[in-house]
Amino acid sequence: MNIALIAHDKKKDDMVNFTTAYTAILKKHTLYATGTTGKRINEATGLDIQRFESGPLGGDQQIGAKIATNEMDLIIFFRDPLTAQPHEPDISALMRLCDVYQIPLVTNVGGAEVLIRALDAGFFEWRSLQG
């Protein structure tokens, strides 16, 4: 599966903790991330991650483009709901494309916990059955 990992600044520690806890599962997949998030995860876990631009510089849009071309299977995006983001339109566009293409998206640690366990249990086979 191709998995995108994204976290706003105040959620980056959560992302590091999450990816550290689930390194064994994540390393079986192809990982992508926005720039700074990917750097933090790589430093903490050693996971191999393809990094896009930082979010404010277009990283969310690059991940959105991968969704539009059916190259992304799930998105783990720890959003900060309490801080205004300069690139809010890009964030909305990314989430909109998840809905357009039925790509599973979680935006907090609680959802990610369920999603990652479901992934490891094989619940994502429906993606490869889709036309």
Restricted to residues 49-108, the positions that interact with ligand 13P (CB under 6 A) are: 54-56, 59-60, 91
- Pick between residue 35 and residue 124 the one whose CB is nearest to ligand 13P: 35
Burial 41-69 (b: 16+ CB within 10 A, else e): bbebbebebebbebbeebbbbbbbebbee
Q: Is 60 a catalytic residue?
A: yes
Do 20 and 49 form a contact (C-beta atoms < 8 A)? no
User: Counting contacts by CB under 6 A, is residue 35 touching ligand 13P?
Assistant: yes
| Residue span binding ligand 13P (CB under 6 A) among the ranges 20-28, 30-38, 64-72, 116-124 | 30-38
| Total residues at interface with ligand 13P (CB under 6 A) | 12
Closest listed residue to residue 12, CA positions, set 42, 32, 40: 40
Q: How far apart are CA 41 and CA 47, in angstroms?
A: 7
Q: How far is the CB of 126 from ligand 13P (least distance, A)?
A: 27
Using the contact rule CB under 6 A, the part of the chain among 16-24, 31-39, 106-114, 122-130 near ligand 13P is 31-39
Kind and range of the H or E run holding 15:
helix 12-21
Active site residues: 60
* Binding interface with ligand 13P (CB under 6 A): 6, 8, 34-37, 54-56, 59-60, 91
